[in-house]
Structure 1
Amino acid sequence: MTRGPIQCDVGVSYGLPRKGVPAPASFKRWAEAACRGRIKRADIAIRVVDEREGRRLNHHYRGKDYATNVLSFPAELPEGVTLPLLGDLVICAPVVAREAAEQGKPLNAHYAHLTVHGVLHLLGLDHEDEREAEAMEAIERAILAELGHADPYSD
């Protein structure tokens, strides 16, 4: 664990109208919370997309022909390069809105959760097996509680 302040540069681009989608400052706050205590410096790019772009990216990179809520693309830097580039997140706004409504969650809380979840993937965490999933979910719960959001995994 890394102590002290985090320098987290977050660039946000929107591939759709911003209505109902959080501002860059919110995404930055959520990304910083996920990085705090885990890394000292990070550069993250976040792109918020519509369903068409989300589906195209998910199909191209994961072979899945549907839009998903968040895609994480960790930076793959050449050996010896020490840039703080952490990677990119793609968040599909229509999927996030649909999931929040279906799950009865506040939209902003769902965006916070998916941003934290995506950043943790950029940091190398995963949920491929039950043990990894439980550990990652516990970290997410703690970060979201610090941000004032309810447990995203409770019913």
Structure 2
Amino acid sequence: MSDGATSGRKRSAKSRSPVSGLEIDVLREAGEWESGTEETVRRAAEHAFVVTRGDDAAELCIVLADDELVTKLNKAYRGKDGPTNVLSFPAADMPDTGVPEEAFKRSVPLLGDVVLARETIAREAVAQRKSFANHLSHLTVHGVLHLLGHDHLEDTEAEDMEDLERDILEDLGIPDPYATERTGH
């Protein structure tokens, strides 16, 4: 995802964090994203990185997409029909492109790509009675944690990941995204 150019792609300026070594590239690939979205996802990604990795140097790409693009990616890479809210593509798991590995050697390690689906996130925010920005921040944190090796396949992994997400989001002033699931509201 990070290396190809697509017509219509709008690339934001790369931004290196002033408090960590994380460089974030945000691509407006598809969808009607509001102004300020880049700052929201950068802030969430940076904080997730700082909490889990400190001031290590790394790079990641956040792709702002729509349901149509995410549906295609979900089918191609996960074998699942339909959109999902966030997809993570860790660089370590990216398929072999046939290009010699030396071509990808860089001074700053690439974590991978986080792809966000605008319409799905908006629907979920309304259904869960959350602000769009808070839900977007949560899903960005969730995606970045996947790039950093966290998962939720097993119950204990899921609990650990959710606890980490809660801590990161609390630092950002965002309410517990799982509170409504526990109370049933």
TM-score scaled to structure 2, two decimals?
0.76
Task: Check the 8 A contact 2:71/2:84 in 1, yes or no.
Answer: yes
Q: Is the 8 A contact 2:63 2:115 kept in 1?
A: yes
Report how far residue 37 of structure 1 moved: 3.6
Counterpart selection for 2:120 from 95, 98, 102: 95
In 1, the alpha carbon distance for the partners of 2:21 and 2:124 equals: 31
Q: Which has the larger radius of gyration?
A: 2
Q: Which amino acid aligns with 1:34?
A: A
Partner of 2:135: 110
Return the alpha-carbon distance in structure 2 between the equivalents of residues 22 and 68 of structure 1: 22
Deviation of residue 7 (structure 1)? Answer: 1.5
1:8-47 equivalent positions in 2, closer than 5 A: 8-20=22-34, 22-39=36-53, 40-47=56-63
Aligned residues between the structures: 150
CA drift at 1:26: 1.9
Q: Which residue of 2 aligns with 1:75?
A: 91
Give unmatched runs, 5+ long, in structure 2.
1-18, 94-100, 181-185
SS in 2 for 1:36: helix
What is the alpha-carbon root mean square deviation over aligned residues?
Answer: 1.8
For residue 84 of structure 1, report the CA deviation from its aligned partner.
1.9
Question: TM-score, normalising length from structure 1?
Answer: 0.90
Deviations 1:57-102 (A, max 9, x none): 00000000110000000012859x5632111011000000000000
User: Is the CA contact 1:125–1:136 (under 8 Å) kept in the aligned structure 2?
Assistant: yes
Q: Which range moves more in the overlay, 94-103 or 8-17?
A: 8-17
Gaps of 5+ in 1: none
Following superposition, the deviation at residue 20 of structure 1 comes to: 3.2
